[in-house]
Each structure stands twice: as structure tokens, then as C-alpha cells.
Amino acid sequence: MILAAGRGERMRPLTDRTPKPLLEVHGKPLMQWPLEALAAGGFTDVVVNTAWLGEQIEARFGARHGGSTLHYSHEGRDFGGALETAGGIVRALPALGEVFWVVAGDVFAPDFEFTQAAVDRFLAGGLLAHLWLVPNPAHNPKGDFGLDPAGRATLQDHAGIRHTFSTIGLYRAALFAPPLCGIATGNPGGIKAPLAPLLRAAMEKAQVSAELYLGPWTDVGTAERLTALNAG
């Protein structure tokens, strides 16, 4: 699943007429980078959620792109706006498998590899989520989660260090079901819900693993970061 429903407030006026996932980095729409990386790993059945100017995203990529089949979850059309990350994932659950990737469509990680081996390790571990963490960028100096020596994501620092969540993760559908999540599958009521509380609850039960990714990574959240990427 590629998350593409955000408004991109911090990138206005660029996003007033163009959804953030369609802003270009090195000649490609931002969303095209993770889409191509997923396809390179053999993951060609992709759900894309949309809200702000979502019709432009579907018009740009269509139902098939570069060998991938795209399914759209139009939160803006169905509910008048984005459902936040967890709400959007639950809305898309009927189109997702029991285990699935999620990545934000506005994160630039050109060297990240989506592999079947990672999926197999996750399946064998039996946990609810596996996250890729990155060194803290300047705009998030305190980080999001700790990483213990056993490879579990934690709410506490380890060795005084917290890392930033890259937005890239593997999930089991069970994370988005009771007892951790009370939203009905398919989110028929269009309930807005963030992902972080679910991850924190799962971490408290030691149900989230993680690893550190050291390749190039940028959260393209401002016009300045976009300009810097294209100048590099």
C-alpha cells in the first residue's frame, strides 16, 4: 500500500494544484519511486489511498503502471477527506493480504529494496509489524522509537538513542483488528485514526520488530527539501 492521501499543507503553494505524491524528484513523481521499487521486488499488486486531488493521481498512473496493478481507495471522494494512516489502512484492508507493505508516497528512499526475504522473515517471526527506522533528520532530532538489542521497536530510548520511523513497514492485518483496533474492516464509517497509537500499543506487547536503514532517505515535507533533493 502506498499512502497518497495527505494534503501537503507545509508544501503550499506547490500542493494547491498538485497532490504531493505527484511533485517530481529527478524527473519522476515522488510516488513513482516506491511504486517502481515495489515492482522491482516482485510486489506488483498495489493499493493507493487518495484524498486531496486524488483524481490527478489516478489519472497519472491509471490502473496499470510499469507492470503493476493499482487499486485506489478514494477517501476524499467517499468521505470528504483523508482518514489518517490507520483509518486509511483499515479502509483498504479488503484489498490487502494478511501481510502487506506500507510506504508513504512522499518519502524518497531510492535505494530501499522491498524483498520477499524480508516478508519471509517477518512471517516466520509471528509479530504484528516490522518497521524500518532511519537516523534522525534535522527536522525530527528526538526520533520516534527505540531499538533494543533483540531487534524490537520500543517506546523507550536504548543507549540514549531513538530513531525516526521511515514510514516503510510490513504489517499483519491483525494489527488493525480487535483488541488493538476497534474500527470495522473496510472502515465503512470513514473513521479517522492515526497509526502511532496502534504501533505504541503493539510495542507495549513486544509485537513490533524493527531494523535500521542507513541508505539515503528524505521525508519530502517542505518545498525546501524538495528543492534540495532536485539540486543534488
- Residue 89, amino acid: I
Q: Is 20 exposed, middle or buried (0-12, 13-18, 19+ CB in 10 A)?
A: buried
Tell me the residue ranges of DSSP E strands in 149-191.
Answer: 153-154, 164-172
Give pLDDT, residue 6: 85
At 120-168, the pLDDT tens digits run 999 999 999 999 999 999 999 999 999 999 999 999 877 789 999 999 9
Cβ-contact 97, 122 below 8 angstroms: no
In this structure, the number of other CB atoms found within 10 A of the CB of residue 67 comes to: 9
The phi, psi pair for 175, rounded to 5°, reads: -65, -30
At 67-76, the pLDDT tens digits run 899 999 999 9
Tell me the residue ranges of DSSP E strands in 106-190.
Answer: 107-108, 129-134, 146-147, 153-154, 164-172
At 171-189, the pLDDT tens digits run 999 999 999 999 999 999 9
pTM over 0.85: yes
Query: Does the pLDDT of residue 14 top 80, yes or no?
Result: no
Give pLDDT, residue 156: 83
Q: Is the bond leading into 34 cis (omega within 30 degrees of zero)?
A: no
- 7 confidence band (pLDDT: 50, 70, 90): confident
